[in-house]
Amino acid sequence: MTRERLYLFDTTLRDGQQTPGIDFSVEDKIAIAKMLDEFGIDYVEGGYPGANPTDTAFFAEKRTRAAQFVAFGMTKRAGVSASNDPGLATLLQAKSDAVCYVAKSWDYHVRVALGCSNEENLDAIRASVEAARAAGKEAMVDCEHFFDGYKANPDYALACAKTAHDAGARWVVLCDTNGGTQPSEVREIVGKVIASGIPGENLGIHAHDDTGQAVANSLAAVEAGVRQVQGTLNGIGERCGNANLISIIPTLVLKPAFAERYETGITPEALSGISRLSRAFDELLNRAPEPQAPYVGQSAFATKAGIHASALIKEPATYEHVPPETVGNRRRVMVSDQGGKANFVSELKRRGIELPADTGRLDTLIAIVKEREAQGYAYEGADASFELLARRTLNAVPEFFRVNSFRCMVERRFDAIGNLKTVSEAIVKVEVDGEEKMSVAEGHGPVNALDIALRKDLGKFQQEIADLELADFKVRILNGGTEAITRVLIESRDSSGARWWTVGVSDNIIDASFQALMDSIVYKLMKNRDMAGLVAAE
């Protein structure tokens, strides 16, 4: 059976850049465009040349090899010919393969935002598409607010879409700009657009996620007949974000409802790298990956309950909707107070920890974990601390160094010029090979001071931890009152790109932090010796 071709259009570098807190440099855009191009995306929209110096510089060269490189911009202004519109000229001169125009398709916006007549807007669409084609570029039109426009005035919304198509636009993209349309509405409206005379092979969908349904709306549009799907990496975008291509692509490729009818430009080999693509993008944005992201999240194929783990080990399909390796992810059977022996056996094997012949030691480990989790520890979120606990219980962890004592002081005082300051200082006494070393450090708060002092002089191990950094620090109060039990989770990383979490629990936040800091350093030293770190290396 011949499958129909679906085209993937990425707008991370344009629509995604509108995400609060995200501001791509030219170098960032070049790196992301390369990632998308190599992955197999059909269209990479790079931004709006002429709108800002970054996008103008980015379009000074063609930035893709296989993908169509797309410049975005407005249709010509009303009252000005296409040949005399400076914005349109900049757009057409950009080093792109295609031009994507944004055009109003809701008469309310034509009146309020553009301040022109409905017919002038249609003329702008027609003339702009013709200008792009005359310049040798593939033309497409994003019909902004199409679904809201259709619901308000279907005749005019359709007139905008048909004008773009009749002028020669390769793609007419139906945009749910406000993100409030429901999947049933998308199916119905797309069907009416096709019935009006615009073939589905010339239609695209651009969905926003304001009701959490951008992925569902995109898939509904495909089922109704559109053949281009627009979205962003990890669903970034203004307000609540855009349709997430990282979720859409595996669904199109792996789910029979789509895979049996359609094909994309994504090969199985490329799809197996989609988790890496998602995480690499988050790393470029300097943010932690979403652990529960579909397909690619750290928890996407994780199970915690003992009965689930037992079934999963016997037959993975019992609790997995697709094999995790198809999207470059992995199965995780987690250890916690809800886990049974199967959870622990699976996790120890995965970490390369030899199971003891004496099952009593395994029972001891299970009992310790459950007792500690009752105290407030959370080992499903602290992989490194669990591994150290397991190795200490079942085998051995070398005593690289010993902390004989530590002290933290916080002093609030006026400085020499009368400004009120809070100063934190920590003193740590560490013993390495029988020699005691004392380190003193000031920091931004007692935990930071303690961290600096602890890592200031570890003797012969000092060079080994030079690339160790704290990436995140989370504190949770487990019960009320000033005497509350505190859980501290610390995420660490090193120059290899590995990341790991450690945990500490105490009624003293400094002590809880110290436990987590100690585990982080010991884990790093173990990892350096290939004695730990399978999870961190993945």
Higher per-residue confidence, 529 vs 42: 42
Q: What is the pLDDT of residues 168-216, one digit of tens each?
A: 999 999 999 999 999 999 999 999 999 999 999 999 999 999 999 999 9
pLDDT class of 472 with cuts at 50, 70, 90: confident
pLDDT class of 538 with cuts at 50, 70, 90: very low
Q: What is the pLDDT of residue 355?
A: 76
Q: What is the pLDDT of residue 467?
A: 94
Instruction: Point out the least confidently predicted range of 139-143, 242-246, 457-461, 483-487.
Output: 483-487
Q: Using CB atoms within 10 A of its CB, is residue 374 exposed (0-12), middle (13-18) or buried (19+)?
A: exposed
Higher per-residue confidence, 54 vs 349: 54
Q: What is the pLDDT of residues 421-439, one digit of tens each?
A: 899 999 999 999 999 999 9
Neighbours of 221 (CB within 10 A): 29
Residue 61 pLDDT > 70: yes
Neighbours of 169 (CB within 10 A): 28
Residue 371 pLDDT > 50: yes
Residue 450 pLDDT > 60: yes
Q: What is the pLDDT of residues 392-403, one digit of tens each?
A: 888 778 999 999
Instruction: List the alpha helices (DSSP H) in 476-537.
Output: 509-528, 534-537
**Average pLDDT taken over every residue of the chain:** 90
pLDDT class of 499 with cuts at 50, 70, 90: confident
69: DSSP letter: E
Instruction: Return the closest-CA partner of residue 171 out of 144, 143, 145.
Output: 143
Residue 305 pLDDT > 80: no
Q: What is the pLDDT of residues 30-54, one digit of tens each?
A: 999 999 999 999 999 999 999 999 9
Measure the CA–CA gap between 528 and 73, rounded to whole angstroms.
Answer: 51
Higher per-residue confidence, 311 vs 51: 51
pLDDT class of 335 with cuts at 50, 70, 90: low
Measure the CA–CA gap between 487 and 377, rounded to whole angstroms.
Answer: 7
Measure the CA–CA gap between 48 and 267, rounded to whole angstroms.
Answer: 30
**In this structure, which amino acid lies at residue 492?**
S
pLDDT class of 287 with cuts at 50, 70, 90: confident
Q: What is the pLDDT of residue 537?
A: 40
Instruction: Return the closest-CA partner of residue 490 out of 464, 469, 462, 466.
Output: 469
Measure the CA–CA gap between 458 and 399, rounded to whole angstroms.
Answer: 12
Q: What is the pLDDT of residue 334?
A: 55
DSSP string, 450-478: HHHHHTT--GGGTGGGTT-EEEEEEEEE-
In the chain, the percentage of residues whose pLDDT exceeds 90 is: 71
The stretch 276-280 carries a mean pLDDT of: 89
Q: Using CB atoms within 10 A of its CB, is residue 449 exposed (0-12), middle (13-18) or buried (19+)?
A: buried
The stretch 25-31 carries a mean pLDDT of: 93
pTM, full prediction: 0.72
The stretch 18-29 carries a mean pLDDT of: 93
Residue 481 pLDDT > 50: yes
Q: What is the pLDDT of residue 165?
A: 98
The stretch 298-327 carries a mean pLDDT of: 73
Neighbours of 428 (CB within 10 A): 25
Contact 457, 437 (CB under 8 A): yes
Length of the chain: 538
Kindly give, in sequence order, each residue whose CB lies less than 8 Å from that of residue 351, ignoring residues fewer than 6 positions away. 387, 390, 532, 534, 535
Measure the CA–CA gap between 509 and 77, rounded to whole angstroms.
Answer: 61
Residue 249 pLDDT > 90: yes
Q: What is the pLDDT of residue 303?
A: 73
Q: What is the pLDDT of residue 306?
A: 52
In the chain, the percentage of residues whose pLDDT exceeds 70 is: 92
pLDDT class of 536 with cuts at 50, 70, 90: very low
In whole angstroms, what separates CA 244 from the centre of its chain? Answer: 9
Instruction: Return the closest-CA partner of residue 451 out of 393, 492, 496.
Output: 492
Coil, strand or helix at 167: coil
